[in-house]
């Protein structure tokens, strides 16, 4: 195995197709910025539709050999990928800090979740071949086997670029599929080219993973709507995801969609207040709130409301703000880009105009948006009814469980949610009634475990990651029947 160069100054100016590093057909590049400094640190190729076509052609050509490679051999290569990740932890977490504004402790968390993605992929087992006697035809055995779906298109976002890409790529490859990957334009390295370098070093055969960087507005439709993939795995916003589903559907590819969220965090009058406020602060301010399963709304019982707001403010003001690419002790970094910042400022201003009270924060400097707590909020204020995707905590009071559930479910999304309550039966009853794919009792909603299904209901997506759920999405059952005795066709002697 050769040692790939993985620092921000390494070469990142070529796409990876059929095991080769190539210039994009356009010859053009896109600058990549460190969000804390708002300075360009490298350039990546601006891929074109021709590059996407070449990538799918390579993936299709490589697929049958890869599927026919015995599982143990494929796993040796996936194990090499895991070893490559572990051998480069410092460079990888450094790249996350530089490219994604990721504080050190969070970069380590993302790294650990990513190695967990690969470890899980090594364990995935399609159902074993099963033989069932035909219930309708004598002397026939029905064999049910599971095959890889074929080629998988993967489109990933910038907020957890390494993990959210790897949680699709590793299972796809381990199960015998080949992949064409388009990372987000804000994080083309940690979400794409870095993974290509690690796969190359791990000995992943040519064409099994292909990475085309480029703007979604230029190549997204081609990635999603290409006739080759059988599954298009998309993680990103609901608006873009719906377009991806349309494109994929037109080619009869299965859209696997992990989309936006608006997590409610319900704090009942039977909550342990201090624990709830600590969890609430983590769930709002972790990675500057740029997590699809962050707390979007704090729904707090009126009896605890004032004290809860005070504690949340204390936690918000205790964060160490700074540039994660320069200081490991930073606990709060920048948001990813100007659109994020401008949307957040608009949401905060709109909520204040609608009657919210600013308890702390509210200002932006460069791409640093202050950890912000807003009280006197209602569910229809901009910070509450939109997926704000930032370090903003609108706190909304409620008077009983009925009202809490009504408020929690009053959103188009249904990804993650939380309930804080010391009475286990009441907590479970509330969790059962929240419309979400994932509900966490006495914890905040940012959780992901490889043995539990990850995904949402309503406008938050279709399908689930991890374990048997992703295995079902990335393999297809096939029926092979064997007629052992001559069959009676009635009309023919």
Q: Which of residues 281-320 bind ligand NAP (CB under 6 A)?
A: 292
User: Does 461 sit near ligand NAP (CB under 6 A)?
Assistant: yes
The stretch near ligand NAP (CB under 6 A) out of 117-125, 180-188, 278-286, 300-308 is 180-188
Shortest Å, Cβ 120 to ligand NAP: 16
**Rg of the chain, C-alpha, whole Å:** 24
Measure Cα distances from 485 to 73, 244, 490 in Å: 38, 48, 15
Shortest Å, Cβ 191 to ligand NAP: 8
**3-state SS assignment for residue 269:** coil
Under a CB-based contact definition with an 8 Å cutoff, are residues 108 and 93 in contact?
yes
Rule CB under 6 A: choose which of 83, 221, 328, 468 binds ligand NAP: 221
Compute the distance between CA of residue 435 and CA of residue 76 in angstroms, rounded to an integer. 41
Quick count: other Cβ atoms within 10 Å of Cβ 310? Answer: 13
Shortest Å, Cβ 434 to ligand NAP: 16
Shortest Å, Cβ 203 to ligand NAP: 27
Site string for ligand NAP, 373-412 (x = CB under 6 A): --------------x-x-----------------------
Rule CB under 6 A: choose which of 55, 92, 124, 155 binds ligand NAP: 155
User: Does 180 sit near ligand NAP (CB under 6 A)?
Assistant: no
Closer residue to ligand NAP, CB minimum distance, 324 or 456: 456
Is 307 part of the annotated catalytic residue set?
no
DSSP state of 272: -
User: Does 224 sit near ligand NAP (CB under 6 A)?
Assistant: yes
Compute the distance between CA of residue 466 and CA of residue 472 in angstroms, rounded to an integer. 10
* Angle of CA points 74, 79, 82, to nearest 5°: 135
Structure token pair of residue 373: 């707590």
**3-state SS assignment for residue 346:** helix
Closer residue to ligand NAP, CB minimum distance, 290 or 375: 290
The stretch near ligand NAP (CB under 6 A) out of 19-27, 116-124, 258-266, 268-276 is 258-266
Rule CB under 6 A: choose which of 258, 323, 343, 376 binds ligand NAP: 258
Shortest Å, Cβ 465 to ligand NAP: 8
User: 357 pairs with which residues across the strands?
Assistant: 375
The stretch near ligand NAP (CB under 6 A) out of 3-11, 253-261, 344-352, 359-367 is 253-261
Query: What is the maximal distance between C-alpha atoms in the chain?
Result: 88
Marked catalytic residue, from 33, 200, 258, 359: 258
User: Does 255 sit near ligand NAP (CB under 6 A)?
Assistant: no
Compute the distance between CA of residue 470 and CA of residue 314 in angstroms, rounded to an integer. 41
User: Does 259 sit near ligand NAP (CB under 6 A)?
Assistant: yes
Estimate the crossing angle of helix 194-202 against helix 71-87, to 10 degrees.
120
Q: Which of residues 31-90 bind ligand NAP (CB under 6 A)?
A: none
Closer residue to ligand NAP, CB minimum distance, 205 or 216: 216
H/E run at residue 163 = helix 161-174
Rule CB under 6 A: choose which of 4, 109, 150, 261 binds ligand NAP: 261
Shortest Å, Cβ 59 to ligand NAP: 17
Under a CB-based contact definition with an 8 Å cutoff, are residues 199 and 420 in contact?
no
Under a CB-based contact definition with an 8 Å cutoff, are residues 17 and 54 in contact?
yes
Compute the distance between CA of residue 312 and CA of residue 375 in angstroms, rounded to an integer. 10
The stretch near ligand NAP (CB under 6 A) out of 179-187, 402-410, 427-435, 485-493 is 179-187
Which region, left, alpha or beta, applies to residue 288 given φ > 0 means left and ψ of -120 to 50 means alpha? left
Under a CB-based contact definition with an 8 Å cutoff, are residues 295 and 74 in contact?
no
Q: What is the 3-state secondary structure (H, E, C) of 19-42?
A: CEEECCCCCCEEEEEECCCCEEEE
For residue 452, the number of C-alpha atoms closer than 13 Å in the C-beta half-sphere is 10
Q: Which of residues 88-117 bind ligand NAP (CB under 6 A)?
A: none
# binding residues, ligand NAP (CB under 6 A): 33
Rule CB under 6 A: choose which of 104, 157, 192, 467 binds ligand NAP: 157
Rule CB under 6 A: choose which of 244, 253, 267, 421 binds ligand NAP: 244
The stretch near ligand NAP (CB under 6 A) out of 199-207, 213-221, 396-404, 428-436 is 213-221
Measure Cα distances from 344 to 297, 366, 457 in Å: 14, 13, 25
Quick count: other Cβ atoms within 10 Å of Cβ 29? Answer: 17
Shortest Å, Cβ 282 to ligand NAP: 17
**3-state SS assignment for residue 101:** coil
Shortest Å, Cβ 165 to ligand NAP: 10
Rule CB under 6 A: choose which of 54, 184, 309, 407 binds ligand NAP: 184
User: Does 467 sit near ligand NAP (CB under 6 A)?
Assistant: no
The stretch near ligand NAP (CB under 6 A) out of 57-65, 154-162, 248-256, 315-323 is 154-162
Measure Cα distances from 334 to 100, 159, 338, 391 in Å: 9, 12, 10, 10
Q: Report the C-alpha dihedral over residues 407, 411, 417, 418, rounded to 10 degrees.
A: -10
Q: Catalytic residue numbers?
A: 258
Residues contributing to the site for ligand NAP (CB under 6 A):
155-159, 164, 182, 184-186, 215-217, 220-221, 223-224, 235-237, 240, 243-244, 258-261, 292, 387, 389, 415, 456, 461
């Amino acid at each position: 195995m050769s040692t790939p160069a993985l620092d921000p100054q390494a070469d990142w100016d070529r796409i990876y197709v059929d095991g080769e590093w190539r210039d994009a057909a356009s010859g053009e590049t896109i600058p990549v910025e460190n969000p804390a400094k708002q300075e360009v640190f490298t350039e990546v190729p601006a891929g074109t539709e021709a590059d996407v076509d070449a990538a799918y052609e390579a993936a299709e050509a490589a697929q049958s050999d890869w599927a026919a490679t015995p599982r143990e051999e494929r796993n040796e290569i996936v194990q090499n990928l895991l070893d490559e990740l572990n051998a480069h932890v410092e460079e990888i977490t450094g790249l996350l800090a530089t490219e994604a504004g990721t504080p050190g402790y969070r970069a380590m968390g993302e790294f650990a979740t990513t190695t967990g993605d690969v470890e899980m992929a090594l364990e995935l087992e399609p159902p074993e071949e099963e033989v069932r006697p035909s219930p309708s035809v004598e002397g026939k055995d029905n064999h049910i086997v599971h095959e890889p779906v074929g080629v998988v298109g993967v489109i990933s976002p910038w907020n957890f670029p390494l993990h959210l890409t790897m949680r699709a790529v590793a299972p796809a490859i381990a199960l015998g599929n080949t992949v064409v990957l388009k990372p987000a334009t804000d994080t083309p390295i940690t979400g794409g080219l870095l993974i290509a370098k690690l796969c190359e070093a791990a000995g992943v055969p040519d064409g099994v993973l292909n990475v085309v960087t480029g703007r979604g507005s230029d190549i997204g439709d081609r990635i999603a709507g290409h006739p080759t993939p059988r599954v298009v795995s998309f993680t990103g916003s609901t608006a873009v995801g719906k377009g991806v589903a349309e494109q994929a559907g037109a080619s009869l590819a299965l859209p696997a969609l992990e989309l936006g969220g608006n997590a409610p965090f319900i704090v009942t009058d039977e909550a342990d207040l201090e624990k709830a406020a600590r969890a609430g602060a983590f769930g709002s301010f972790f990675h500057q709130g740029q997590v699809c399963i962050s707390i979007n709304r704090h729904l707090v019982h009126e009896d605890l409301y004032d004290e809860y707001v005070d504690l949340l403010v204390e936690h918000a003001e205790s964060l160490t703000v700074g540039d994660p690419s320069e200081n490991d002790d930073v606990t709060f970094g920048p948001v990813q880009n100007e659109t994020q910042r401008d949307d957040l400022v608009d949401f905060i201003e709109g909520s204040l105009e609608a009657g919210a009270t600013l308890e702390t924060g509210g200002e932006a400097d460069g791409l640093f948006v202050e950890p912000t707590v807003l009280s006197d909020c209602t569910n229809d204020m901009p910070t509450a009814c939109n997926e704000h995707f930032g370090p903003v905590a609108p706190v909304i009071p409620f008077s009983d469980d009925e009202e809490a559930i009504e408020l929690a479910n009053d959103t188009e999304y249904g990804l993650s949610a939380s309930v804080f309550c010391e009475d286990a039966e009441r907590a479970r009853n509330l969790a059962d009634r929240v419309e979400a794919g994932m509900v966490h009792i006495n914890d905040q909603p940012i959780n992901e475990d490889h043995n539990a299904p990850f995904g949402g209901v309503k406008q938050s997506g279709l399908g689930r990651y991890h374990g048997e759920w992703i295995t079902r999405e990335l393999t297809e059952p096939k029926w092979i029947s064997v007629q052992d005795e001559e069959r009676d066709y009635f009309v023919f002697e």
